[in-house]
Amino acid sequence: MEFTYKISIETHQDSEMILITNQIKEAVQKSKIQNGAVILFVPHTTAAITINENADPDVKRDMLVGLENMVPRNQGFYHYEGNSHAHIKASIIGFDQTILVENGSLILGTWQGIYFFEFDGPRRRTLIIRISGQ
């Protein structure tokens, strides 16, 4: 079986890391798939998705600061929108993740959470969730 869901994510900051683990768990429950995989895809060019620590909130803050330092905003970029830093950060983080499902649960490490990255907010974003299995 295979199900595709699209969820809306409202972002509130220029750059932000939003925990979305619960929304993905809810989609898996809704699909009733017990064993299979979830593919998450971000159909945007200045937003991204990753999996990382969901214990110390300073990790979120430090990741945003680290990315900001890796890709400073004003480097004489040519792109007319003025958001080249956001395009670059989104490509560094990436636009998809795959997570396995076992006995109806996501297989994630103890400290792992699923995070949606905004790099050019605030905006209303879409996340595509494809769940396959049986």
Q: Which residues here bind Zn ion, judged by CB under 5 A?
A: 81, 83
Task: Please report how close the Cβ of residue 99 comes to Zn ion at its closest, in angstroms.
Answer: 29
Cβ closer to Zn ion: 29 or 91? Answer: 91
Task: Please report how close the Cβ of residue 10 comes to Zn ion at its closest, in angstroms.
Answer: 20
Beta strands in the chain (DSSP E): 2-10, 16-19, 36-41, 47-53, 96-102, 105-106, 112-118, 124-133
Task: Please report how close the Cβ of residue 81 comes to Zn ion at its closest, in angstroms.
Answer: 3
Using CB atoms, what's the residue nearest to Zn ion?
A: 81
CA distance 105 to 38: 11
Strand partners, 47: 118
DSSP state of 134: -
Q: Which of 83, 74, 78, 79 is nearest to 15 (CA)?
A: 83
Q: Which of 41, 93, 40 is nearest to 67 (CA)?
A: 93
Cβ closer to Zn ion: 54 or 84? Answer: 84
Task: Please report how close the Cβ of residue 55 comes to Zn ion at its closest, in angstroms.
Answer: 34
